[in-house]
Structure 1
Amino acid sequence: MNQPISAIAQQLALMQLSDSFFPSGSFTLSHGLECLVQDEQLHGCEDLQIFLRLLLRNKIGTTDLVALIHAYEGSASGDLAAVRQADTQLFAQTLVEKTRETQRKSGRALLMVASSTWKDSQLNTLNQDAVTGKIHCLHPVIFAVVGRVAGLSKGDTVLAFLHSFIAGLLGAAIRLSVVGHIQAQQVLLQLAPDIEAICKAAASISLNEMWSCTPFIDVAQMRHQKLSHRLFAS
């Protein structure tokens, strides 16, 4: 029988999963930010906040986060079919091919690291599913299962995912000289109401109701691979 996880252990797991030190590969992604900066279509802190809010409210909060929540619930109830369904639905909803590819690579990297860190039968099964092609292993879906395995609640798993996502993009913005370190911390704090809002909204969206509307950013993501020089994978 598994021993109950202490509150301190849960807090440590939350910090571990949301830290950029955790090697899932997500830090290599700019989600179109690098293309917009090189095209001189995004300048400074105000533009960056608009970019992040659009991504959070019109894509991440209505697709990735929805799939994560449903995958977590499936994992918590021992229903891996529900986890696979969330993965399939998110794959179908993710229209940009490069985004699907990087989500798969990041998800499989996360699964590999998690399987070496925590021992859990669901991780073993998902590794087998990845080999046989039964699951795409998209990052938000795998993150949900890993959060459950690490002993996090559904709410804490959601927050860990969002913090990791935003911190990764703010790190990209710093490397691209859009903002400095102090400005990045200010932006992170200012996004708190947006994070709270999308958490509440995502909890009420079914897999079939997922949607996204970020055409400007989607085009930037598609154009990214054609840049003459790149710091990020996408």
Structure 2
Amino acid sequence: MSLPASVFAQQLTLMQLSDSFFPSGSFTLSHGLESLVQENQLRGSEDLQTFLRLLLRNKVGVTDTVALIHAYRGSAIADLEAVRTADARLFAQTLVEKTRETQRKSGRALLMVASSTWQDSQLDILNQDAAIGKINCLHPVVFAVVGRAALLSEQDTVLGFLHSFVTGLLGAAIRLSVVGHLQAQRVLLQLAPEIETAYHTAASMSLEQMWSCTPTIDIAQMRHQKLAQRLFAS
């Protein structure tokens, strides 16, 4: 049985947004992975899985994803003040300066590309807000509004975001020779339950409940800019 045209289009949009082919800049980030690899603190697929699980459970799943969900819900009822609040709370929660900077850059790149791809008044307003410094335009928050503008559900928007986050890091791990392509595919499959859990956990949290605890990864991100050679922006 073929799918209704609207469902088919939504699935294609989900794949478009979560694909590395989409030029948001988020796939140039290693989130501290490059530092850990160069310092010989992370080797092989088991270490990589631990790294990704820690990020999903103790950082991205309980900060970025929470802000994304609240931004999506605000956007869905045309409450852009709720979107701005989610952006401001996530900015305050993101303690590493380099992470805030890269989140802002990739968010604004995503907004630019999305504005030329989907016609949506909220995207136009966010562009105006960004121009006058009214919003940081952090990547998860912009991704939420883009998902809503592209007619994706909240769940699909979150899963698209988390899938692109994980595959971006797996791509980084391949480029850093931590794993090969076949190992990366196995890791991605094994992380599917973690991604689902991250969504359900974040969906039940308020902005005030956001938290993170990944000290080793945070410090690795801070050290990244001092590496003699770098493939990634963070």
Is the pair's TM-score, using the shorter chain for normalization, greater than 0.5? yes
Aligned-partner Cα distance in 2 for 1:187–1:99 = 24
Name the count of aligned residue pairs. 231
Letter in 1 for 2:186: Q
- Structure 1: gaps (5+ residues): none
Cα distance, 1:150 vs structure 2: 0.6
Aligned residue in 2 for 1:160: 160
Q: CA-to-partner distance for each residue in 1:147-177, whole Å, 9 max, x for gaps?
A: 0001100000000000100000000000000
Tell me the residue number matched to 2:214. 214
Partner of 1:13: 13
In the alignment, does 2:82 pair up with 1:82?
Answer: yes
Moved over 2 A (4+): none
Q: Deviations over 1:26-64 (max 9, x none)?
A: 010000000000000000000000000000000000000
- Code of the aligned partner of 1:219: I
> What 5-or-longer segments of structure 2 have no aligned partner?
none
* 1-structure distance, mates of 2:6, 2:204: 29
Q: Deviation at 1:196?
A: 1.3
Residue of structure 2 equivalent to 1:117:
117
- What CA distance in whole angstroms lies between the structure 1 residues aligned with 2:142 and 2:156? 15
Once residues 24 and 207 of structure 2 are traced to their aligned partners in structure 1, the CA distance between those partners, rounded to angstroms, is: 25
Q: What's the RMSD between the two structures over aligned residues? A: 1.0
Tell me the distance in 2 between the aligned counterparts of 1:184 and 1:198. 20
Aligned-partner Cα distance in 2 for 1:26–1:199 = 20
| Cα separation, 2, equivalents of 1:31 and 1:173 | 11
- Distance in structure 1 (CA, Å) of the matches to 2:196 and 2:9: 24
Identity between Structure 1 and Structure 2 (%): 79
SS at 2:185 equivalent: helix
Q: Deviations over 1:60-111 (max 9, x none)?
A: 0000000000000000000000000000000000000000000000000000
CA deviation after TM superposition for structure 1 residue 195, in Å: 0.9
Match of 1:150 in 2: 150
The residue identity in structure 1 corresponding to 2:231 is L
Q: Does 1:59 align with 2:41?
A: no
Distance 2:77 2:90 in 1: 20
Q: CA deviation at 1:116?
A: 0.5
* CA distance in 2: counterparts of 1:197 and 1:128, whole angstroms: 35
In the alignment, which residue of structure 2 is the partner of 1:126?
126
- The correspondence of residues 147-226 of structure 1 with structure 2, limited to 5 A, is 147-226=147-226
TM-score by length of 1: 0.98
Measured in 2, the distance between the counterparts of 1:108 and 1:184 equals: 29
Q: For residues 163 and 209 of structure 2, what CA distance do their matches in structure 1 show? A: 24
Counterpart amino acid of residue 110 in structure 1 = L
- TM-aligned CA deviation for residue 198 of structure 1: 1.1
